[in-house]
Structure 1
Amino acid sequence: MSSERRPVPEAEDDGRPSVPAAIAVSVAVEDDTGIAEARDAAGAFLSRVQSEHGLPVSGRAVGVAQLVVSELVTNARKYAPGPCLMTLEIQDGTVQISVWDSSTVLPAILAPDPGRIGQHGLEIVTALCVSFAIHREPVGKRITAGVMLADDPGGAAAGRQVL
């Protein structure tokens, strides 16, 4: 029988073990000029994830994440009063893109309709992401979409799961 020694986490001042900080960033978007800034922040964040943390991030993942940010933040700015908050967090090989806004109205994801002009944003987001969820919050709602950071070895985007 072999035994494995695991390092004991260092304790905080209150006696609890320390937990590694999450790889995350949040950006408040207060006006429509913030949509482009949020998109740029997503690209810069994923660049840092790769350069500083050594996680693989495909070019496809950066482009998809920026598109998802653009769609979600644009919807929040268009349909909810006041600012919105975008949070990007790395979890299990994905970037989780969350956008909170103050509106309690949940968006409808319309069925694909090539004849419809407009309102394809969430249709596109759900098609590109590996996960998608809408949650009511005590104030407003939060929409979260997950984008795989790395493509599979064959170059295809990884599978998706709608929650």
Structure 2
Amino acid sequence: MGSRAEGEGCAEPDAYLMRAGYALEGDGGCIADARRHAVAFLDQVHTDHHLHIPARTRDLTQLVVSELVTNARKYAPGPVLMELRITARAVDVVVWDSDPTVPVPRAADPGRIGQHGLEIVKAAAKDLFIEQEPVGKRVTARLALSDPASSDTAARPLA
């Protein structure tokens, strides 16, 4: 399931250690299902690769999953696909939906109720990529594994 460096037998720093894809149903429980998939994915990474996942990154991953899947369900008809990928440095949350319209963050407005999802994702993510596809679009939020609140500057394997 993980990527390996050619001839070295170990993962490169930016190679995906693990990837998983999920087709999400359009019912009301799909957002909670997506969050559960994210937690299970991070737990599996920790178990299989002994990679330290800071609590902040776990929480932000669930938040970003919630926001991106909510937006996809709200604004795009049809299926929603989610892929989770992880390197030694970052977690990618990728959500595909069938609407080709590229979302645009709205100007800050403390009086506005709702429609803050993309603003939240931009604030939480290290990088945000939005790509139009032949059908629909793909939104990728990259979350750093380092926890700026601690003295760690990068994710580290557990001993």
Q: Displacement of 1:75 after TM fit? A: 0.5
The structure number with the bigger radius of gyration is: 1
* Alignment: residue pair count: 142
The structure-2 alpha-carbon separation of the partners of 1:112 and 1:21, relative to structure 1 and needing over 3 Å to count, comes to closer
Q: Displacement of 1:73 after TM fit? A: 0.4
Per the normalisation by structure 1, the TM-score is: 0.79
Q: Does residue 138 of structure 2 align to residue 155 of structure 1?
A: no
Q: Does residue 120 of structure 2 align to residue 124 of structure 1?
A: yes
Q: Percent identity?
A: 48
**RMSD (CA atoms):** 2.3
Q: Using the alignment, how far apart are the partners of 2:23 and 2:145 within structure 1?
A: 23
Determine which of 67, 71, 76 is the counterpart of 1:71: 67
Q: Which structure 2 segments of 5+ residues have no match?
A: 1-5, 10-14, 154-159
Q: Is the 8 A contact 2:17 2:88 kept in 1?
A: no
Give the number of the structure with larger relative contact order, counting CA–CA contacts within 8 Å between residues 6 or more apart: 2
Q: Using the alignment, how far apart are the partners of 1:132 and 1:45 within structure 2?
A: 20
In the alignment, what sits opposite 2:77? Answer: 81
Amino acid in structure 2 at the alignment position of 1:27: Y
Q: Displacement of 1:34 after TM fit? A: 1.2
Determine which of 44, 55, 58 is the counterpart of 1:59: 55
Q: Which structure 1 segments of 5+ residues have no match?
A: 1-6, 11-19, 159-163
In the alignment, what sits opposite 2:93? Answer: 97
Determine which of 38, 42, 48 is the counterpart of 1:42: 38
Per the normalisation by structure 2, the TM-score is: 0.81
